[in-house]
Amino acid sequence: MEATGARIGEGAEPIESMEWLREFGERYVAAWNSHDPKAVVACVHQDVVWIDPALAEPAIGRDAVADFVRSSSVAFPDLSFGDPGKPALSDDSRAAYVPWRMTATNTGPIDPPGFAATGKAVSVSGFDVWQFRDMLIWRYEAIYDFSAVARQLGLLPPRGGFAEAAMVRAQRLRARLPF
């Protein structure tokens, strides 16, 4: 987890067993699917560092994670996570790799940064990297294609179109400017 300055597994406690991890994962997914910030933060350590491509910077601590759950639920009231596969453990059992599939419809504002609702549906697959302390997620990192989500929402233009070409030209012009 580069943003925390620690390598995967460094400082984390070993995961008890795959059975424990599966049970924990079921509780965690149920918490997200209930849209209950308290249920989600019950799964995380008080000193959690939470990295997600949707966040401008990591969420630090339970209150910040609860805020992220709340804002996600406002932006995507039908947000739902499914389990597309089995989790895996790192060789030293200090990190879990947990696949997921998320579907949602953007019917509320995405804040931050303040985008208006688009009414568009999204579907994305990804995986989480979980590290534990005291049997709670202590370091969290979501890995998924955020640009695909932004394109599905209409926040980025479709690939290969006029709007994408215009963005490329604007970026090239900006790259030549001295600021």
H/E run at residue 20: helix 18-34
- Whether the upstream peptide bond of residue 113 has omega within 30° of 0, thus cis, is yes
CATH number for the domain spanning 11: value is: 3.10.450.50
Tokens of 94: 């200090």
Query: What's the rounded mean pLDDT across residues 101-130?
Result: 96
Q: Which tens digits make up the pLDDT trace of 69-106?
A: 999 999 999 999 997 789 999 999 999 999 999 999 99
Rounded distance between C-alpha atoms, residue 44 and residue 149, angstroms? 25
Q: Which tens digits make up the pLDDT trace of 50-64?
A: 999 999 999 999 999
**Residue 89 domain-assigned?**
yes
Under DSSP, the state recorded for 168 is: H
**Residue 150 domain-assigned?**
no
**Residue 165 domain-assigned?**
no
**Residue 166 domain-assigned?**
no
**Residue 158 domain-assigned?**
no
Q: Residue 39: which pLDDT band, with cuts at 50, 70 and 90?
A: very high
Domain residues for 9?
2-144
Tokens of 74: 């406002």
Domain total in the chain: 1
Identity (one letter) of the amino acid at 131?
Answer: Q
Q: Give me the pLDDT at residue 15, please.
A: 95
Q: Residue 9: which pLDDT band, with cuts at 50, 70 and 90?
A: low
**Residue 161 domain-assigned?**
no
Tell me: pLDDT of 46 over 80: yes
